[in-house]
Amino acid sequence: MFGCLVAGRLVQTAAQQVAEDKFVFDLPDYENINHVVVFMLGTIPFPEGMGGSVYFSYPDSNGMPVWQLLGFVTNGKPSAIFKISGLKSGEGSQHPFGAMNIVRTPSVAQIGISVELLDSLAQQTPVGNAAVSSVDSFTQFTQKMLDNFYNFASSFAVSQAQMTPSPSEMFIPANVVLKWYENFQRRLTQNPLFWKT
């Protein structure tokens, strides 16, 4: 019913069923995992009005599982990418796996999927930093580059009274740089690939 994918590893499709409506995948060597993809295989859909909440569990310093809600998958949203690299030091949240006797080893984390009503899924609040940014890395880089350039250029700004005449140098008014910066940001927001045209 479900699959789990970590970059550089084989796809897992044999989830361990720990209850009628609960499934887990083991994630060995979890310390080296940044993102995990959870997806439906397409062979068995959720029953009408149902979906699956997705949890990440890792052992705390005492070896006890710490569960954190990542998000959900449904028939309408059959896959999701979750960032788990920053979660290993966070606190746990309420979860449906508490009463279960799930076999685990100390260096293995788990992804848990709990089949629940869609209404319940809508009321749950995932861990804030588990969601993967919807902004791609190129857009993030461009945004950072713009900010850096503007801050760098602005650090040399002087008033007209402070300027010393130098016939061999050209000067660009700071408001021109600011206008370019704002226009470029606006165009990047509207279409991250505008520069290709």
What per-residue confidence (pLDDT) applies to 101? 53
What per-residue confidence (pLDDT) applies to 144? 78
Residues of the chain predicted below pLDDT 70: 88-106, 129-138
Burial class from Cβ neighbours inside 10 Å (0-12, 13-18, 19+) for residue 80 reads buried
Orientation of helix 137-154 relative to helix 174-190, angle to 10°: 170
Cα 80 to Cα 48, 54, 73, 121, 133, distances in angstroms: 20, 9, 7, 14, 12
CA angle 70, 73, 74 (to 5 degrees): 150
Strand partners for 59: 65
Token pair of 2 as six digits: 């479900």
pTM, 2 dp: 0.61
What per-residue confidence (pLDDT) applies to 3? 93
R_g (Cα) of the chain, nearest Å: 24
Token pair of 192 as six digits: 């991250």
Could you say which DSSP state residue 89 is in? T
Helix (H/G/I), strand (E/B), else coil: 68: strand
What per-residue confidence (pLDDT) applies to 102? 54
Share of the chain above pLDDT 70, in %: 84
